[in-house]
Amino acid sequence: MSTLFSPVKLGNLTLKNRIIIAPMCQYSAVDGAVGDWHLMHLGSLATSGAGMLIIEATAVEPAGRISPYDVGLWSDATEAALGKVLQSVRQYSTMPIAVQLAHAGRKASSQRPWDGGQLIAEADGGWQTVSASAIPHNAKETAPLALDAAGLERVKQAFVDAAKRAHGLGIDAIELHAAHGYLMHQFLSPLSNQRTDQYGGSLENRLRFPLEIFDVVKAALPEGYTLGIRISASDWVDGGWDVAQSSVFTKELEQRGCAFIHVSSGGLSPLQQIPLEPGYQVHFAEAIKKVTAMPVIAVGLITEAEHAESILNQGQADMIGIARGILYDPHWPWHAAAKLGASVDVPPQYWRSQPREYKTLFGETRMGGR
């Protein structure tokens, strides 16, 4: 039996297989509201046969958007728009759906990647960004405002409110975004956090605000609700956030009842030096798995079914996150199941596409008609 296609439990949520569709920003929302593009995009992914789909980074307040086109969940209008898309998707898919709640911090107010990705000045329609400290992501950019006590409370409440909206929409799980150089990561890393109060300096202090966000979100959700987190295990910069600090953070999260941890890396500094190669982040997931009983998701240029299977069989991770690979091949789980001799859930409308050499790929299907 394939390990990749075996079930896994995340808190009270059981997934049919260990393929996780990682969050992928589409930069296609209008004032935070999803629309027809997301209906097509999420609908396609929800019929892919993966174990769980995580909706892209979803801003908890307008100032937390990476770009003016980011998805948000801060108002009745953004909630209604997402609810409408989810209602349509769920007519044809039973795949568990999670959402990644995020705040971009100093990396907010930026152009879409295909428009250059640079910071948008307030005079050009951007907005003042915030962070742990008044240190810009790029030395040539306008510095963010360091969050004061009122700002910290506002952000925490925004996460709580968005989490309540997500639960109200029937979303199965929430992933908090503490990776890729966004706000929670900015508090964790000594490169971006140079505060002198209780939220800066020592590792204990730098962990404080992200852990407070986790605590208040967990307290706002029903007992047993699946709440996980995504981290960057390393900044890939000397003197920055690293695996040792990530391990301490992981242990604190586990004590608080975190249901899973999604291990990525980088994104905090333009000085990062990342050696891109297949599975380049798997060793981070493996290191985190050694210090926690939480299920661990590995991600990063894992494109072949056999590679994904070997990562799980070697005990380096518990689940595999697929992102760009599933944009390129929306039926990646189908093809992985065929290679590994497994079966996958597929809508009956597609049953007739099952190749003759894989007679049980879609389970014991029975096709009639003429």
69 is catalytic: no
Q: Any idea which residue has 């109200």 for tokens?
A: 168
Residue 106 buriedness (CB in 10 A; 0-12 / 13-18 / 19+): buried
**Contact assessment for residue 19 and residue 319, using Cβ atoms and an 8 Å cutoff:** yes
Tokens matching residue 4: 């990749």
Where are the alpha helices (H) located in 119-202, listed in sequence order? 149-168, 183-188
Which residues is 19 bridged to in the sheet? 320
The SS3 assignment for 291 reads coil
C-alpha span between 307 and 313 (Å, rounded):
10
Rounded to the nearest 5°, which phi and psi values hold at 339? -65, -35
Q: Which helix (H) or strand (E) holds 81?
A: helix 76-90
C-alpha span between 119 and 127 (Å, rounded):
9
Tokens matching residue 271: 């000085």
Q: Which residues fall within 8 angstroms of residue 36, CB to CB, at 6 or more apart? A: none
**How far is residue 17 from each of residues 59, 264, 321, 334, measured CA to CA in Å?**
28, 20, 12, 12
CB atoms within 10 A of CB 82: 26
Q: Which of 27, 182, 199, 225 is catalytic?
A: 182
**How far is residue 257 from each of residues 153, 227, 229, 250, 319, measured CA to CA in Å?**
22, 8, 11, 11, 19
Residues labelled catalytic: 182
